[in-house]
């Protein structure tokens, strides 16, 4: 994923993402591409743990 144009307040910065991305596994299985990018998924997980809300209350942007 390219640079996120309008990052939200506590989302990963480009520098943080550049350090984290090489540590994540890459999908090598055939089939449908993922619905969400890994960066967006991690930002959503970080939002949920920071706020302490249930999954159903995670905003649509994540």
Calpha distance 51→33 (Å, rounded): 29
Calpha distance 9→16 (Å, rounded): 14
Residue 61 — pLDDT band, cuts 50, 70, 90?
A: confident
Note the pLDDT of residue 59. Answer: 83
Calpha distance 8→13 (Å, rounded): 10
3-59: pLDDT as tens digits: 444 457 788 999 999 999 999 988 777 888 878 889 999 999 998 998 888 888 888
Note the pLDDT of residue 53. Answer: 87
Question: 27 is written with which tokens?
Answer: 């999908």
Note if the pTM is more than 0.85.
no
Burial of 43 (0-12, 13-18, 19+ CB in 10 A): buried
């Amino acid at each position: 994923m390219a640079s996120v144009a309008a990052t939200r307040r506590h989302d990963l910065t480009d520098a943080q993402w550049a350090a984290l991305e090489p540590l994540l596994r890459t999908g090598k299985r055939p089939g449908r591409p993922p619905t969400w990018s890994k960066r967006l998924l991690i930002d959503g997980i970080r939002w949920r743990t920071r706020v302490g809300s249930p999954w159903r209350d995670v905003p649509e942007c994540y």
